[in-house]
Structure 1
Amino acid sequence: MMLIKTGLLIDGTGGAAHPTCYLAIENGRIAGRGQAGDFATADVAKAVDFSPYTVMPGLIDTHVHLFLEGISDLKARTLRWKESKDTILIRAVNNLALALRQGVTTVRDLGGPYGINALLKKAVSQGVTVGPQVLTACQAISITGGHFHYAGGREADGPEEMVKAVREQAKGGADCIKIMMTGSVNFIRQDAGVVELSQAETQAVVHEAQRLNKPVAVHANGVDGVRQALSAGVSTIEHGALIDEVTADLIAASQVYWIPTLVPFERMLDYGRNHRTKTLPAEGIEQVYFRHQAMVLRAYQAGAKIVAGTDAGALGVEHGDVWREIGLLVECGLPPVAALHAATGLAAKAVGMDSQIGTIETGKRADLLVLEGNPLMDITCIRKIVTVFKNGKEYPR
């Protein structure tokens, strides 16, 4: 058994922080939590002393694409889509290591080609490679020619094909099901195109996924797409960049978790301001991004469950950038404790893993982040990583 003496303890529940205490770690899990008197004198004397630091749960990034890197050059990014499976796999392994160094101990991969995400899940769990725990949707499901079909997606049309596509992902080891409800944001037209799945197709996916005990994550940006997803009873809304006040209130009134993925929009805005492109005009991105931020705050204030996810692999978004997503949630108006909860305890609930990760409680996995400073007072401290523990094993920076 290993004993750790903490400084400030943020336990990931969204509640108040705790003063100095001790954590017992055994067989990769938290075996106990208390004060010095709760443990043997000899164990306390040998405790690893992190009392000058803040200790909190490892971060959870609920929306990544491990096969992609956060390349900030559009031309170079285009070439990445043409690389071989072997090269993409090697890059993805590097992305895992990068994420862990940034304090991310669990990621949810929401779609990619060649079965790479399922392979990485297995490799990490077996200790073949080092990285965060990987949860995966395997292939994202779209209609024929729909959004993201070009990234190894599973194309399906009609309720029956949708059901088969869901079953295929479950067979492949999917932890969740991902569907593409709309396209990406068109910053010139200020829309996301048509709603690509019919109501019947959406409902077929949700019914089959629920029958197989798989949560459903939905890529949706426009108002109509988000509302259709809500009416079908999905688990998480990904992006939602074009919603209005009424839709924000509907999200708050539902049981859905909203993962707004603010980082890619910030990075696209940076790109648009520094490069003249037809598809990424700075003025159009600003309109979308500022409204997106306002809707996040409105939904949060109305009681919505806002969760951190980065869409890592998007333009300029590196794996491990969940630290920035947390910061952007604070910039939207969320209190720091809520922004940290969005990447710990609440994120664990969103991905159906709250019995295992997300909070520092007895019996849960010893995924820990040790930080200099107090992120509740200065959210940028989330980057001042001293060391990371995953399953009780330390990965020093």
Structure 2
Amino acid sequence: MLIKAGLLIDGTGSAPRQGCYLSLENGKIAAVGREGDFAGLEAEQALDYSAYTILPGLIDVHVHLFLEGISDPKARAGRWQETKEMTLLRAANNAAVTLKNGVTTVRDLAGPGGMSLALKQAVEKKVLTGPRIMTCNRAISITGGHFHYAGGREADGPDEIVKAVREQVKAGAAWIKIMLTGSVNFETGNAGPMEFSFREIQAAVTEAERFNRPVSAHANGVQAVRQALTAGVQSIEHGALLDEAAVDFLRSSPAYWAPTLTPFLQMLHQGHFSPQTQTGLEQVYAHHCAMVRRGIAAGAKIIAGTDAGAPGVQHGEVWRELGLFVELGMSPVQAIASATGLAAKAIGVTDTGVVTAGKNADLLVIDGNPLGDIQSLRHIVQVYKKGVGII
């Protein structure tokens, strides 16, 4: 197949190109060039997207497919009471919605009962329609720690941590996820105590490294992020309570940062909080934005994760996170790279994320120019996953 692009944004962070052609073969991008560069393919037979923008399929580095972005507390509580069968069916629908919204790869950072692995296998076997799924399987927390209630693997002490890591590897996890703090308490302005000791974090990282598995850390506070980075964690999730020194430390490390701004902004609009909580949320969000702005200016490796499934955060809405990145100082090209080429590097996939020969033909065709209006990413014309049109 030959495709003609009006504007091509390749996901590398490079300047866009106009009037390019892409040839696709066996689900891969065979070549990118100009009219007349493709032997045996006639330009007039090309699929004409000359009025549109083509870019790589988007990558969301932080989702929970088993959850839905329900804001109402009562309705959300009801979801937790549903059977695992119903939850799995909802997760399958969330996966399909994700792909239709132009997100062709996700990193699912914890679900109950092997659910995310079942979805991954079902998509790979074409039983279900959905994005490519990388997953940690079950998140590892201390006994009674954050997310234990959502099917997390509770473990205490280095020896139990080692066993928990091995269990995830055995199950098929591509990543290991550890929970180092709780969520942010907006009334107190903190995320509770460190939930793992430094020795426990080291045990998780060391054991994961033995099996060539990177480690992602849910960490909101300064101490948790510093200890995670010192231990060698490859990905920091949230980091909502960092200070300037912690942001600079993160910038100087090899780790990536998924600040997941979208849930905080969405919660601001929900109206389900007391005045005290609402004020605290506003303060936390303003601080978080300021630290992300600092990270962007300093060149921290910031990547797009929506925390899809969190209150108010629907699946496939990466455009929201990218819009916030642009507001905080990223160029639109950089923001797109944070959900394509840079995101691919961050989560360890080498066959997608950029539009270049040899990569999977995971493509997003949109009506509009996201370099002028990043939210034009919402105006989807077609999504390709390995060269197959989805819409």
Q: State the TM-score, normalizing by the size of structure 1.
A: 0.97
Equivalents in 2 of 1:87, 1:343: separation in Å?
30
Residues 1:308 and 2:312 are matched in the alignment: no
Residues 1:373 and 2:368 are matched in the alignment: yes
Contact (CA 8 Å) 1:28, 1:365: kept in 2 or not?
A: yes
Equivalents in 2 of 1:62, 1:385: separation in Å?
20
Equivalents in 2 of 1:127, 1:25: separation in Å?
20
Q: Following superposition, which runs of at least 4 residues in structure 1 exceed 6 angstroms of deviation?
A: none
Equivalents in 2 of 1:333, 1:363: separation in Å?
32
Give the count of matched residue pairs: 391
After superposition, the C-alpha distances for 1:202-255 in whole angstroms (9 at most, x for unaligned) are: 001001111111110000001111111111110100000000000011111111
Aligned-pair CA distance for 1:136? 0.5
Equivalents in 1 of 2:223, 2:273: separation in Å?
31
Equivalents in 1 of 2:286, 2:41: separation in Å?
55
Equivalents in 1 of 2:135, 2:273: separation in Å?
36
After superposition, the C-alpha distances for 1:133-169 in whole angstroms (9 at most, x for unaligned) are: 1110000000111100000000001111101111100
Specify the alignment match of 1:177 in structure 2: 176
Aligned-pair CA distance for 1:40? 2.9
Specify the alignment match of 2:274 in structure 1: 277
Equivalents in 2 of 1:15, 1:45: separation in Å?
28
Specify the alignment match of 1:209 in structure 2: 208
Contact (CA 8 Å) 2:72, 2:272: kept in 1 or not?
A: no
Specify the alignment match of 1:332 in structure 2: 328
Equivalents in 1 of 2:273, 2:62: separation in Å?
29
Contact (CA 8 Å) 1:139, 1:169: kept in 2 or not?
A: yes
Equivalents in 2 of 1:7, 1:137: separation in Å?
38
1:101-120 paired onto structure 2 within 5 Å? 101-120=100-119
Cα root mean square deviation, aligned = 1.0
Residues 1:240 and 2:235 are matched in the alignment: no
Residues 1:38 and 2:37 are matched in the alignment: yes
Equivalents in 2 of 1:304, 1:219: separation in Å?
18
Aligned-pair CA distance for 1:276? 3.8
Aligned-pair CA distance for 1:43? 3.1
Specify the alignment match of 1:56 in structure 2: 55
Structure 2: 5+ residue stretches without partners: none
Specify the alignment match of 2:318 in structure 1: 322
Amino acid at match of 2:363: L
Amino acid at match of 2:342: L
Contact (CA 8 Å) 2:162, 2:207: kept in 1 or not?
A: yes
1:115-154 paired onto structure 2 within 5 Å? 115-154=114-153
Aligned-pair CA distance for 1:29? 0.7
Aligned-pair CA distance for 1:337? 1.0
Residues 1:268 and 2:264 are matched in the alignment: no
Residues 1:388 and 2:383 are matched in the alignment: yes
Equivalents in 1 of 2:39, 2:102: separation in Å?
30
Contact (CA 8 Å) 2:297, 2:329: kept in 1 or not?
A: no
Aligned-pair CA distance for 1:41? 5.8
After superposition, the C-alpha distances for 1:246-291 in whole angstroms (9 at most, x for unaligned) are: 00111111111000000000011112xx23438x822101111011
Aligned-pair CA distance for 1:382? 0.8
Contact (CA 8 Å) 1:137, 1:177: kept in 2 or not?
A: yes
After superposition, the C-alpha distances for 1:105-124 in whole angstroms (9 at most, x for unaligned) are: 00111001121100000000
1:248-263 paired onto structure 2 within 5 Å? 248-263=247-262
Q: Secondary structure of the equivalent of 2:85? A: helix
Specify the alignment match of 2:6 in structure 1: 7
Specify the alignment match of 1:352 in structure 2: 348
Equivalents in 2 of 1:75, 1:159: separation in Å?
38
Equivalents in 2 of 1:65, 1:275: separation in Å?
22
Q: State the TM-score, normalizing by the size of structure 2.
A: 0.98
After superposition, the C-alpha distances for 1:281-333 in whole angstroms (9 at most, x for unaligned) are: 22101111011111111012112000000111100111111111111111122
Equivalents in 2 of 1:380, 1:75: separation in Å?
31
After superposition, the C-alpha distances for 1:161-219 in whole angstroms (9 at most, x for unaligned) are: 10111110011110100000000000011000001000000001001111111110000
Amino acid at match of 1:394: G
Specify the alignment match of 1:159 in structure 2: 158
Equivalents in 2 of 1:43, 1:233: separation in Å?
51
